[in-house]
Amino acid sequence: MHPAFLHALPMRGLTWLGSQGTRGVAAVVFIAAAVPPLGALLRPYLTEAILCLLCISFMRVDLAALYGHLRRPALVATATAWTTIGVPLIVGLIAHATGLTARAPGLSLALMLQSMASPMMASPALAALMGLDATLVLITLVTSTALVPFTASLFAGLFLGDMLSVTPLTLGLKLLGILAASLLAATAIRWLFGAEAIQRHKAPIDGLNIIILFIFAAAIMGDVVSDLLAQPLFTLGLAALSFAIYFTLLAITTLLFRRIGYERALALGLMVSQRNLGLMLAATAGALPPTTWLYFAMTQFPIHLAPYMLMPIARRLTVRANTSSSAATSTP
d(CA 117, CA 128): 22
List phi, psi (to 5°) of 119: -60, 155
pLDDT score of 21: 64
Q: How many CB atoms lie within 10 A of CB 44?
A: 9
Torsion angle in degrees (nearest 10) through CA of 274, 280, 282, 284: -160
CATH of span 22-316 = 1.20.1530.20
Q: What is the mean pLDDT of the chain?
A: 81
pLDDT score of 116: 93
Strand ranges (DSSP E) for the chain? Answer: none
Below-70 pLDDT ranges, the chain: 1-9, 18, 20-22, 62, 65-66, 68-70, 286, 318-332
pLDDT score of 3: 44
The per-residue b/e assignment along 66-102, b for 16 or more CB within 10 angstroms, e otherwise, is: eeebeeeeebbebbbebbbebbbbebbeebeeeebbe
What pTM, to 2 d.p., does this model score? Answer: 0.80
Contacts of 74 (CB under 8 A, 6+ apart): none
